Structure 1
Amino acid sequence: MAVEVKELLEAGVHFGHLTRKWDPNMAPYVYMERNGIHIINLYKTAVKIEEASEALSKIANSGRKILFVATKKQAKDIVAEKAGAINMPYITERWPGGMLTNFVTIRKAVKKMASIDRMKKDGTFLTLSKKERLQVDRLRAKLEKNLGSIADMTRLPGALFVVDIKREHIAIKEAQKLNIPIFAMVDTNSDPRQVDYVIPANDDASKSIDKILSHVTTAIANGLADRKAEKDGFEDSDESEEIVTKTKSKATSVKVAADEEE
């Protein structure tokens, strides 16, 4: 969907930080200064949203996951809702160190969760003492809180989407080390050079975060829908080819039988 500057304005996407807290590298995205606050150029924001949306749609269409990262209070619930709705992994609690660079260990922790669930299903859990059951339950709850939202992420993500790159600097560094593309909402107090796809925007207000996330998750959903349509079309094509092959084979058998009778 097209990005309207008016809707960005109404959501307060244009409000940057105090001028004394700004990062000079954000100068190309600053429109003006008002009452000691930098105002973001929303025309540039709209263009950047469309660029990021197109790239994210392609990544989703390729079958790779996009990991959303936002641990600040204003963004947590919004990211959990939006990313969860399109079945994408997200981190809204503390970033687990080595989440990307030591992914094998993180996967082991996720498998531990699945192992506990199997214990509860097959009755093994009930053979434990009361104290042991309590310990296992606490471990399961802790793992679910920190890693439950990435349980389906079986390999490294195709991209990272970050809200507030200053706060999520560890996630940014890990993604950079592994050359994972970084998409992010970047406010006037941050360095945009750390990000591959910059969306200059207010990353403190929930309305602003909600508006940006709505656009990018819609684009991802479209990419996923296109992928499904392509797969369905491919399967239909295979089925049609099989029917044609069987029909030809049957026709050949009938012809051979007729020739033998003659």
Structure 2
Amino acid sequence: MIIRHLALRQGRRALTSQPIRRWTRFFASQVDTVEASLQTTLGEIRKVEAFVNSRSDHPVSPVDADPSSTPDNDASPEENLSNLGSEITPHYQPHTLLTNPPSPSDITLELLLASGAHLGHNTSLWNPGNAKYIHGIRDGVHILSLETTAAHLRRACKIVTEVARRGGLILFVGTRAGQDRCVVKAAELAGGCHLFDRWTPGSITNGQQILGNCRMKVVDELDREIPDFEEQLLDRSVLKPDLVVCLNPLENYVLLHECGLNNIPTIGIIDTNADPTWVTYPIPANDDSLRCVQVIAGVLGRAGEAGNKMRLEAASQGEVTYQPAQGLKMPAEKKDGEGQASSGSAPVSELGFLQTLM
């Protein structure tokens, strides 16, 4: 009881010593301070709006405008907030490497760096033959020189373009997991053949026994098939590729060895742990990066596409850029319903060979 009465007595004294108008004046001063700061902030915002309106063609609406007068007042919150924030342009879209591969003119150091082409293997796994391709060491990993990679890749593109321009058969090989789609796409662009499964040993050195049942066809200079040559193709030996592009040489050493025995030029991606003497035209790059393999395969496919386009343009003007097939005889002429002789093939000097792998 004594403590409660003491608190009441001291409370009355506090109230009598601090009048209510003092507290009112205190809160009023606080409100004035907040209002002054808001006015200052609003003034700065208006200055920024005036500066932006003077520099841009689209004026910015004032801050204190009535929201009910704007035409977007009835729009949904998603529409009102759709224009907020910054626009970020995507730099890497994985599907574009397959749907729209880069061309040889798009080869840049930035593209190779983004694809991880410069990353090699651990220094303990390196092959001394790759010393001229290595730029340095980073955290125990060899770093390939991207300038050397770009130069060798451009050289390989010129080779693929020239082989395709002369009507050669190009074989794209990639047997690692995930390489099948880029291998097929490159073969489609270059008009060649593809292999994404295990290489059958002896397909080149003993091709007549392994690929003897594959169908061959005769085409003219515009890649149109000419019939009535099936009987003459039965006794001919199987075709061999004029150029082999191998995306993983370590797993296809037998293929590269057979190409060497038959003097078939080869192009391969050589990492720091591979022997560059296995292929004719090495491309020092990271063969473990799927993005790097897709970039290289797409560029080589585009190079083959450019070569085929040059060959067809020359053929449309009457110029044959490849050596025609030898040992073919024109099929017997057939008479049509009117008794006139007609031949279903072009002159032998304009015939070429294509092989369809079954």
Give the alignment partner of residue 77 of structure 1, picking from 175, 181, 188.
181
Superposed CA RMSD: 1.6
- Once the two structures are superposed, the pairs formed by residues 51-200 of structure 1 within 5 Å of their partners are 51-111=155-215, 155-200=239-284
Query: Residue by residue, what CA displacement relative to the aligned partner does 1:207-250 show, whole Å, maximum 9, x if unpaired?
Result: 00011111111111100000000000117xxxxxxxxxxxxxxx
Structure 1: distance between partners of 2:137 and 2:180: 29
From the CA coordinates, give the structure whose radius of gyration is larger: 2
Q: Match for residue 258 of structure 1?
A: none
Give the alignment partner of residue 18 of structure 1, picking from 122, 134, 144.
122
How far has the Cα of 1:70 moved from its partner? Answer: 1.1
Q: Match for residue 41 of structure 1?
A: 145
Q: Which runs of 5+ in 2 are unaligned?
A: 1-103, 216-237, 320-358
Q: Match for residue 144 of structure 1?
A: none
Whether the 8 Å contact between 1:74 and 1:204 is mirrored in structure 2 is no
Q: Which runs of 5+ in 1 are unaligned?
A: 112-153, 236-262
Could you tell me which amino acid in structure 2 is paired with residue 234 of structure 1? Answer: G
- Once the two structures are superposed, the pairs formed by residues 237-256 of structure 1 within 5 Å of their partners are none
Could you tell me which amino acid in structure 1 is paired with residue 195 of structure 2? Answer: I
Whether the 8 Å contact between 2:186 and 2:300 is mirrored in structure 1 is no
Could you tell me which amino acid in structure 1 is paired with residue 206 of structure 2? Answer: N
How many equivalent residue pairs? Answer: 194
Give the alignment partner of residue 230 of structure 1, picking from 288, 293, 314.
314
Whether the 8 Å contact between 2:189 and 2:305 is mirrored in structure 1 is no
Whether the 8 Å contact between 1:53 and 1:219 is mirrored in structure 2 is yes
Q: Which has the higher contact order (CA 8 A, sep 6+)?
A: 1
Structure 2: distance between partners of 1:195 and 1:208: 19
Segment of structure 1 superposing worse, 83-92 or 168-177: 83-92
Structure 1: distance between partners of 2:186 and 2:171: 12
1:205 aligned onto 2:309: no
Could you tell me which amino acid in structure 1 is paired with residue 205 of structure 2? Answer: T
Could you tell me which amino acid in structure 1 is paired with residue 156 of structure 2? Answer: A
Whether the 8 Å contact between 2:189 and 2:304 is mirrored in structure 1 is no
Query: Residue by residue, what CA displacement relative to the aligned partner does 1:71-126 show, whole Å, maximum 9, x if unpaired?
Result: 11132222122213433101111101111111212332435xxxxxxxxxxxxxxx
Could you tell me which amino acid in structure 2 is paired with residue 183 of structure 1? Answer: I
- Identity between Structure 1 and Structure 2 (%): 30
Higher helix share: 1
- 3-state secondary structure, aligned to 2:136: strand
Q: Match for residue 64 of structure 2?
A: none
TM-score scaled by length of structure 1: 0.71
1:8 aligned onto 2:112: yes
